Structure 1
Amino acid sequence: MAFPFVNSIASWFLKKRFHQIELFLKYPNEVQNEILMDLIQIAKDTEIGRKYDFQSIHNYHTFRERVPISSYEECQPLIERSRRGESNIFWPEPIKWFAKSSGTTNAKSKFIPVSEASLEDCHYAASKDLLCMYLNNNEDSQLFTGKSLRLGGSKELYEENGTVFGDLSAILIDNMPFWAEFSSTPCNRVSLMSDWETKMKAIVEETIQENVTSLAGVPSWMLVLLNNVLDYTGKSSLLDIWPNLEVYFHGGVSFVPYRDQYLKIFPKESFRYYEIYNASEGFFAIQDQNNSSDLLLMLDYGIFYEFIDMESYGTNNQKVVTLDGVKVGKNYAVVITTNSGLWRYKIGDTVKFMSVKPYRIRVSGRTKHHINVFGEELIIENTEEALKRVCRITNAEIVDYTVAPIFMSTDKTGTHEWLIEFKKPPENLTQFTAELDFALQTLNSDYEAKRYNNMTLELPKINIAEPKLFYNWLKKQNKLGGQHKVPRLSNSRDYLEELLHLNGQLHTAD
């Protein structure tokens, strides 16, 4: 068994890396400022660098005054030029890879630049840090005695004008070192299959023969795979198939709605769940403690962070702060400047700081995925926690859901309309609705105020989705697998109306 040798190498790397981590834990603002100045210096002779005269920027204040905060739509013209083979536009190194991302279900694809520096110093560095933190917290781990079952996107890579685009997971798999493939399953050929359903069958058949010790992937799609494994093998527990399985590394969507279902298929008290926070734009934070939902913000991956207070987001007086200005418990939109040439770029996520010594966060939602039609400020964090509570009370299990407003009319107050696909429906939908409403009121004082005496919001309306409705909807849009997900909350009814149309027989609460 090669485990002692591999473990000794991992231990050496862990001790070396922890010294660097301790540096940004002790001097977070200094490390972040140094990264910003390095990025500006590296890019000073690019088109962007000349436009904003990076040569004369020597501090954050000047950088903030000159460089505007931007969205993907504002960056797109420069990114398209880079995709056509132009260089030195926003980053001096040629950009070979572009991570194709649709965010959630927007028809228009995004192409996020991925530089060599980002690949090595951010994405791959974070993968190693994740293992280091896990091993540091679990000294009896047998992780390297087996393989990691990875579940990435289902798209192959495409070449165009000398540049390559595809899912970020496909780019990472295509460029990973040989030893990483040796320690992973399924093989690259299966991992990069484009047809999701064919790929799913191939993964099941290959991985049940392996000694799998860890899992890595998005919770929603991993659950689909694991249930397929159980169906294929006829087992009730995954530990009957992979007895040495010890940890699941997850990210991409909230784990809260799926936790209870995972606990059922992993009936092992010592089984670990480790969360990560990454995106096409970069790898941002890692769970650094056992049994914690807080994620350590990684400050030395070539990413400079800014945050917009969500109370002022989108207004003429947006309050933008750096790390030294954030407050515990407040929601912020994330803005990044990166070693792939994204400058003050809004990634669309919101986070809440749980501590500032060190800087630990939780992902609270998306800037575009919330409901605030009636001043209720409902965010994904609220709905996920409320559903978790209600499912435990009513013994229900949820596959997926989406929520949209029913707008006010002259003779009627507004409300929220839910479409929920249950794995195990509640016996009494009326009770489920009442409990959900109560949970949301206890979690969100703005929602509670709008529900008072039904003055602004009435009791939520809940529709039951047919089995596999959300799956079939994503399949219809060629968005199965990977980071693709259903939009949970929306201020418009577009997604909901499309899903209701597909839902053959509509069941509503009384």
Structure 2
Amino acid sequence: MKIKSILAKPFAKRVAKRIYKQSNNAVKTQNKVLKKLIAQAKNTNFGIDHNFKNIKSYEDFKNQVPIRDYEALKTYVEKVVEGKPNILWKGKPLYFAKTSGTTSGTKYIPLTKESMPNHIEAARNALLLYINETQKADFLQGKMIFLQGSPELGDTNGIKTGRLSGISAHYVPSYLTKNRLPSWETNCIEDWETKVEAVIDETINEDMTLIGGIPSWVQMYFERIVERTGKKVGEVFPNFNLFVYGGVNYEPYRNKFEELIGRKVDAIEFYPASEGFIACQDSQEEKGMLLLINNGMFYEFIPAEEFYNEKPTRLSIEDVKLGENYVIILNTNAGLWGYNIGDTVEFVSLNPPRIIVTGRIKHFISAFGEHVIGKEVEEAMNVNTKGTNISVSEFTVAPQITPEEGLPYHEWFVEFVNKPDNLEEFISKVDAELQKQNSYYLDLISGKVLQPLKITIIKKGGFNSYMKSVGKLGGQNKVPRLSNDRKIADELTKFSE
């Protein structure tokens, strides 16, 4: 008897009703969250330093708490890492999520007894929202896998430390433990290629119904299954019907995934960060992800074009608008205040609030004032591959400021699964779409400041080879979609055809 799937549906209905009630009263809910966060942290070092006891409104909060990134908050974080209590949040963290920062080196993001349940509950609720909308719950009867980092944890002055995905592995609900793969031993394998083979060994004969992970690394898992069996993934796993992903936009991978699987499957997008679980896709019909407005975080939004101003505009959810590109700022029950995680988002719905991730505030191309963002290059690629036999495994874009001859241009590094029959025609169409997406880029092309983009074809497996060469193969690592310099581009040329 499918007891799990039967019980899940009424439970999903109750959870969805509660979530949408809060989401449809987002301003009121967020104000309560801010008030609670300030009350809980007013006696911490940070709260005392920033006069939390006299904060009565969001305007007060903005006046007392500046916007910071990890580097600017580091003096507080270092005290937490040393083991001192009541610095950013009451007591000590339960864990540190260890991440790699480009400027800060290793970052230690605190996870507290208040924040950790929010991560776990958000992932659960995303699946419940899917069940409630689609009435599909049979995936709960089969096996599930989330390709992730090692669950082995280190110790930092008495606080357990590891990757967020590895920490989360310790919180698998008991009712899913028997469904969850791979084994603990396999999950602990550090070498990604070895790990993928071991994962296949454990899953290939199982009834896999849900598969999750960053698309680029799940693609590697799928490709190896096809190589081993000579069958499509959908034949090997006939009941696989739900793909859960996060970290990058799925659209550039969709054609390749459907080819590897042999059919379409439903997909749910997560927006988790070590700093907090921000949003999740709540509908197979509506665009974007539902912003989780009662998940231990108070959100702020800064118009992206103002971000580097001395005094940029800071908005709560009450004043955001559709279609604007915002830098998202977090204030969390793990003690991160005015914290810039570096992502940019756009609202596609206000009631309930739904967002799409448009890129990284530091990942853009503006070598000539064009300020091209990730969303725009992805849309230019998607428009010209969707519904065609052209399939792209991975791509990234960088400026070529000093070409050997001619005008500067944007250089696209593309690993094709199926190449276009006419590459020059494809380039022309992608460039035309990018001009459509970004008026500044259009002006630069029209004004003969830039020449149209060029594509450098990366050989098959080249992106994985590059990631391996820089020690970032697998796990939660991903190639930036855009760079404003040639650091990645110059390395990738080593893997070109």
For 1:68, the equivalent position in structure 2 comes to 66
What amino acid does structure 1 have at the position aligned with 2:444?
A: K
* Structure 1: runs of 5 or more not aligned: none
Paired residue secondary structure (2:14): helix
Residue 496 and residue 106 in structure 1: after superposition, are their counterparts in 2 closer, same or farther (change >3 A)?
Answer: farther
> 2:396 and 2:137 mapped to 1: Cα distance?
39
Residue 487 and residue 18 in structure 1: after superposition, are their counterparts in 2 closer, same or farther (change >3 A)?
Answer: closer
Q: CA deviation at 1:424?
A: 2.2
> 1:224 and 1:422 mapped to 2: Cα distance?
14
For 1:150, the equivalent position in structure 2 comes to 146
Percentage identity across aligned positions? 36
Match runs of 1:135-284 below 5 Å: 135-154=131-150, 156-235=152-231, 237-268=232-263, 271-284=265-278
2:151–2:187 CA contact under 8 A, matched in 1: no
1:248–1:273 CA contact under 8 A, matched in 2: yes
Match runs of 1:37-436 below 5 Å: 37-102=35-100, 108-120=105-117, 122-154=118-150, 156-235=152-231, 237-268=232-263, 271-392=265-386, 395-407=389-401, 413-436=407-430
> 2:126 and 2:377 mapped to 1: Cα distance?
28
> 1:287 and 1:61 mapped to 2: Cα distance?
31
1:459 paired to 2:471: no
> 1:34 and 1:405 mapped to 2: Cα distance?
45
> 2:414 and 2:47 mapped to 1: Cα distance?
48
For 2:477, the equivalent position in structure 1 comes to 484
Aligned residues: 497
Q: CA deviation at 1:491?
A: 1.3
Paired residue secondary structure (1:221): helix
1:404–1:490 CA contact under 8 A, matched in 2: yes
2:71–2:104 CA contact under 8 A, matched in 1: no
Q: CA deviation at 1:469?
A: 2.2
What amino acid does structure 1 have at the position aligned with 2:181?
A: T
Match runs of 1:432-443 below 5 Å: 432-443=426-437
Q: CA deviation at 1:440?
A: 0.8
2:120–2:171 CA contact under 8 A, matched in 1: no
Residue 137 and residue 23 in structure 1: after superposition, are their counterparts in 2 closer, same or farther (change >3 A)?
Answer: closer
Q: CA deviation at 1:390?
A: 2.4
State the TM-score, normalizing by the size of structure 2.
Answer: 0.95
Select between 483-492 and 424-433 the one with higher mean Cα deviation: 424-433
What amino acid does structure 2 have at the position aligned with 1:198?
A: T
Paired residue secondary structure (1:399): strand
> 1:456 and 1:426 mapped to 2: Cα distance?
28
What amino acid does structure 2 have at the position aligned with 1:340?
A: A
> 2:103 and 2:312 mapped to 1: Cα distance?
26
> 2:172 and 2:387 mapped to 1: Cα distance?
45
Q: For residues 271-292 of structure 1, what are the alpha-carbon distances to aligned partners after superposition, in whole Å with 9 as ceiling and x for unaligned?
A: 3111111111111111111144
2:13–2:132 CA contact under 8 A, matched in 1: no
> 2:451 and 2:272 mapped to 1: Cα distance?
37
Paired residue secondary structure (2:36): helix
Residue 409 and residue 12 in structure 1: after superposition, are their counterparts in 2 closer, same or farther (change >3 A)?
Answer: closer
2:67–2:338 CA contact under 8 A, matched in 1: yes
Residue 379 and residue 44 in structure 1: after superposition, are their counterparts in 2 closer, same or farther (change >3 A)?
Answer: same
Select between 468-477 and 219-228 the one with higher mean Cα deviation: 468-477
* Structure 2: runs of 5 or more not aligned: none
> 1:193 and 1:16 mapped to 2: Cα distance?
39
Q: For residues 197-240 of structure 1, what are the alpha-carbon distances to aligned partners after superposition, in whole Å with 9 as ceiling and x for unaligned?
A: 111111001011211111111111111111111111221x2221
Select between 77-86 and 54-63 the one with higher mean Cα deviation: 77-86
Q: CA deviation at 1:445?
A: 1.8
Select between 260-269 and 30-39 the one with higher mean Cα deviation: 260-269
State the TM-score, normalizing by the size of structure 1.
Answer: 0.93
Select between 260-269 and 320-329 the one with higher mean Cα deviation: 260-269
1:382–1:443 CA contact under 8 A, matched in 2: yes
Q: CA deviation at 1:401?
A: 1.9
> 1:302 and 1:97 mapped to 2: Cα distance?
17
Residue 107 and residue 192 in structure 1: after superposition, are their counterparts in 2 closer, same or farther (change >3 A)?
Answer: farther
> 1:409 and 1:182 mapped to 2: Cα distance?
57
For 2:12, the equivalent position in structure 1 comes to 14
Paired residue secondary structure (1:391): coil
> 2:55 and 2:292 mapped to 1: Cα distance?
25
Paired residue secondary structure (1:320): coil
Q: For residues 301-332 of structure 1, what are the alpha-carbon distances to aligned partners after superposition, in whole Å with 9 as ceiling and x for unaligned?
A: 00000001012111124121110111101100
Paired residue secondary structure (2:442): helix
Residue 474 and residue 154 in structure 1: after superposition, are their counterparts in 2 closer, same or farther (change >3 A)?
Answer: farther
2:328–2:340 CA contact under 8 A, matched in 1: yes
Q: For residues 24-55 of structure 1, what are the alpha-carbon distances to aligned partners after superposition, in whole Å with 9 as ceiling and x for unaligned?
A: 12321111011111011111111101101211
> 2:114 and 2:462 mapped to 1: Cα distance?
41
Paired residue secondary structure (2:411): strand
> 1:397 and 1:132 mapped to 2: Cα distance?
32
Residue 258 and residue 36 in structure 1: after superposition, are their counterparts in 2 closer, same or farther (change >3 A)?
Answer: same
Q: For residues 68-123 of structure 1, what are the alpha-carbon distances to aligned partners after superposition, in whole Å with 9 as ceiling and x for unaligned?
A: 110011112322221221111101031131112226x6782222111121111x21
What amino acid does structure 1 have at the position aligned with 2:398?
A: A
Residue 393 and residue 413 in structure 1: after superposition, are their counterparts in 2 closer, same or farther (change >3 A)?
Answer: farther
What amino acid does structure 2 have at the position aligned with 1:97?
A: Y
What amino acid does structure 2 have at the position aligned with 1:208?
A: I
> 2:68 and 2:104 mapped to 1: Cα distance?
21
Q: CA deviation at 1:265?
A: 2.7
